[in-house]
Amino acid sequence: MKQQISLDINGRVYDLVVSHRDLLVDVLRKKIGLTGTKKGCGMGDCGACTVLVDGKATLSCITLAITCQGKKITTVEGLALPNGELNPLQAAFINHGAVQCGYCTPGMLMSATGLLDRNPKPTELEIKRAIAGNLCRCTGYKRIVEAIQMASEAMSAQGVK
């Protein structure tokens, strides 16, 4: 069964026809062309598919697209500043070597963004808890945690939320 829905993604509204079984990750990647969101395990275990839905970190590989109608979805493509530059969190990931193969990076960025939006000055433990659902095989997490800490400090100093 197909249904017409509207999805607000990164501030742009998309009118789509989807099946009641279509997963948000597949709609983002295949129907809209936003391939920054990765499809890893497909079972909600790895966090590569994390996006924000109404500001909350959400696993798009286990979220039905139709349940997102009327909600604001933010993908990694929506994190850039209006002038196209990287936001402080993205820049911190690059500057602190928190990106290696890059497969987990979009999900990590989205989980960290959800945290920093709720709590601009998280502790190390709060950061670790926020990214606990995101698996990374390359960095060992230390640099990711440090990058999130540095971004938090930079954003606080700049008055950025």
> Domains along the chain?
2-76 (3.10.20.30), 88-158 (1.10.150.120)
What amino acid is encoded at 20 in this protein? Answer: H
Q: What is the pLDDT of residues 13-61, one digit of tens each?
A: 999 999 999 999 999 999 999 999 999 999 999 999 999 999 999 999 9
> Using N-to-C axis directions, what is the helix angle for 142-158 and 105-118, rounded to 10°?
40
Q: What is the pLDDT of residues 97-155, one digit of tens each?
A: 999 888 999 999 999 999 999 999 999 999 999 999 999 988 779 999 999 999 999 98
Please state, in angstroms and rounded to a whole number, the distance separating the CA atoms of residues 12 and 93: 26
Does the pLDDT value for residue 158 go beyond 90? no
CB-based contact 130:111 (threshold 8 Å)? yes
Which of 36, 115, 56 lies closest to 144 in space, CA to CA?
A: 115
Please state, in angstroms and rounded to a whole number, the distance separating the CA atoms of residues 46 and 48: 6
* Model confidence, pTM: 0.94
Please state, in angstroms and rounded to a whole number, the distance separating the CA atoms of residues 11 and 73: 8
